[in-house]
């Protein structure tokens, strides 16, 4: 033990000097970090000035929750949009109309054929025939551009006109 005390006594100046250097380095490092922290605090206060927000962390949490809600709504809207895109080709949105004189006894084009079809050429063609004694209306279903019932040339023209419509 005596030897250890003598060794420490001989090296005491170096040990104290080493601890002094470590202490000064830690003190300087502390001042530098404190200076950086003060600059960061000033920037934070400048950023938060006149916003009416006291706690940035609470604001960020609220924004994240709101973002998640918006994403959920957007997902629902995407699903609805996909459903609508699947239904769109089936909608009877294309219309073609052909007016004509069905009977030579009248001079006006009061008869008509109107076709309502979708992108898949499915739908209906309605024909109204007019003469002096009255008028008659007929409807024929259309599947893939054709019907199970005989189609007149005017009805075929109405279907063709509807097919061209965008």
Which of 19, 42, 62 is the last residue before a domain boundary? Answer: 62
Q: What is the pLDDT confidence band of residue 91, given thresholds at 50, 70 and 90?
A: confident
CB 30 within 8 A of CB 22: no
State whether 50 and 96 are in the same domain: no
CB 158 within 8 A of CB 96: yes
7 lies in a domain?
Answer: yes
Give CA–CA dist 164/166, Å, rounded.
6
DSSP summary character for residue 102? S
pLDDT digits (tens, 9 = 90+) for 58-84: 888 889 999 999 999 999 999 999 998
Q: Tell me, what's the pLDDT at 106? A: 59
Please determine, for residue 86, whether its predicted confidence score (pLDDT) is greater than 60: yes
Q: What angle do CA 159, 111, 125 make, to 5 degrees?
A: 30
DSSP summary character for residue 88? G
State whether 107 and 53 are in the same domain: no
Find the mean pLDDT for residues 143-161: 90
How many residues belong to the chain?
166
Please determine, for residue 4, whether its predicted confidence score (pLDDT) is greater than 70: yes
pLDDT digits (tens, 9 = 90+) for 106-135: 567 889 999 999 888 889 999 999 887 888
Specify the number of domains making up the chain: 2
Residue 121 or residue 140, greater confidence: 140
Question: Which tokens in the block code for residue 62?
Answer: 């609220």
Place of tokens 């009416």: 52
State whether 107 and 157 are in the same domain: yes
Average per-residue pLDDT in the chain?
88
| Residue partners of 66: CB distance under 8 A and separation at least 6 | none
In the chain, what percentage of residues exceed pLDDT 90?
A: 45
Please determine, for residue 105, whether its predicted confidence score (pLDDT) is greater than 80: no
The parent domain of residue 31 ranges over 2-62
68 lies in a domain?
Answer: no
Q: What is the pLDDT confidence band of residue 39, given thresholds at 50, 70 and 90?
A: very high
CB 127 within 8 A of CB 137: yes
- The enclosing H or E element of 85 equals helix 56-87
pTM: 0.51
CB 165 within 8 A of CB 96: yes
Find the mean pLDDT for residues 12-23: 91
State whether 100 and 48 are in the same domain: no
Residue 143 or residue 49, greater confidence: 143
């Amino acid at each position: 033990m005596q030897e250890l005390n003598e060794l420490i006594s001989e090296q005491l100046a170096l040990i104290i000097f080493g601890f002094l250097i470590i202490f000064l380095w830690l003190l300087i490092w502390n001042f530098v970090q404190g200076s950086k922290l003060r600059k960061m605090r000033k920037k934070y206060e400048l950023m938060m000035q006149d916003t009416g927000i006291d706690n940035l962390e609470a604001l960020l949490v609220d924004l994240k929750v709101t973002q998640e809600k918006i994403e959920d709504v957007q997902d629902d809207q995407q699903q609805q949009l996909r459903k609508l895109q699947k239904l769109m080709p089936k909608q009877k949105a294309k219309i073609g109309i052909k007016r004509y004189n069905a009977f030579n006894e009248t001079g006006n084009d009061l008869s008509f054929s109107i076709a309502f079809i979708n992108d898949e050429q499915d739908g209906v063609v309605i024909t109204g025939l007019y003469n002096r004694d009255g008028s008659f209306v007929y409807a024929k279903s259309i599947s893939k551009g054709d019907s199970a019932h005989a189609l007149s040339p005017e009805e075929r023209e109405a279907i063709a006109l509807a097919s061209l419509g965008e």
